[in-house]
Amino acid sequence: MGRRFSEVDCIADHPYKATEIRQIALAIQHSGRDIVLSLSPGPTSVEHHAEVVELAQMWRISNDIWDLWDGGSREFPIGIRNQFENAARWAEYSRSGHWPDADMLPVGELSPFPDVGPGPRHTRLSPDEQQTQLSLWAMARSPLIVGANLTLLDKETLRLLTNSDILRIDQTALASRQVLHEGGLVVWIAALPGNRHALAAFNVGEKAITVDRALASCGLPAAQHNVKNAWTGERLKVTSRINMTLEPHASTVLILD
């Protein structure tokens, strides 16, 4: 018998309902069934971290996200750029079996009736923005819940969603955190099994940026590393530095050993 999934809406915020969450978790425990409890919508307040980690397997860290790069100052919907701060705030509370949820992946074909915006439609996120979303979600160890119409997956969306290295980071990382946010540059690192690491660099700004810095300055061991580009599969030269140019809203993920 497979694991069951239960998402309870209007409970993690607007307002936070601690008594109800505890009652539902107790009912699941008494049922004797293996049920994942997901609390929605967000933004769940970080001040509740101990309770949600104790009682739930997933909790939304933001309001609904849609296929926007930047939702501005509005609360709903938010965009990909807005999620960087939320993911960084919650990173230390990710642990095996208990995951801050950055919400769905609005990639590919959004049809027949998306809740927000015109429809049916192909995602309004650019290819770079879609890759950046997957990269951030994986580094933050968020659940990966696809918001696309799975019967209409195009080759590029399928490639995006089935990259084995990106999925492995999301599913097996032992710890992860944001280590740098300077202007448009954001850098995350993740510890992987086997003494390996992942590094993701993001350009959240509106101008291309060149990154040239020692890997040690990003919180990684001061050593020469074998490097693999997780998205392309390309093996890069052994190095102790990160050196690349990122276009606006673009990102890269490197596997280091």
4-172: CATH topology is: TIM Barrel (3.20.20)
Q: Is the pLDDT of residue 1 over 80?
A: no
Q: Look over the chain and give the mean of its residue pLDDT values, rounded to a whole number.
A: 95
- C-alpha torsion angle, residues 237, 200, 232, 103 (rounded to 10): 170
What residue spans define the domains of the chain? 4-172, 175-256
Q: How far is CA 29 from CA 4, 23, 36, 37, in A?
A: 13, 10, 11, 11
At residue 3, the pLDDT reads 83
Tokens 């020692």 belong to 214
Q: What is the pLDDT of residues 113-124, one digit of tens each?
A: 998 989 899 999
Using a 10 angstrom Cβ sphere, with 0-12 exposed, 13-18 middle and 19 or more buried, the burial of residue 128 is: middle
Cβ-based neighbour number of residue 238 at 10 Å: 10
pTM above 0.85, yes or no: yes
What per-residue confidence (pLDDT) applies to 119?
Answer: 85
Per-residue pLDDT at 200 exceeds 70: yes
Residues 16-46 pLDDT 10s: 999 999 999 999 999 999 999 999 998 999 9
Q: How far apart are CA 128 and CA 232, in angstroms?
A: 13
Specify the CATH number for 175-256; select among 1.10.3720.10, 2.60.40.1180, 3.30.70.890, 3.40.640.10.
Answer: 2.60.40.1180
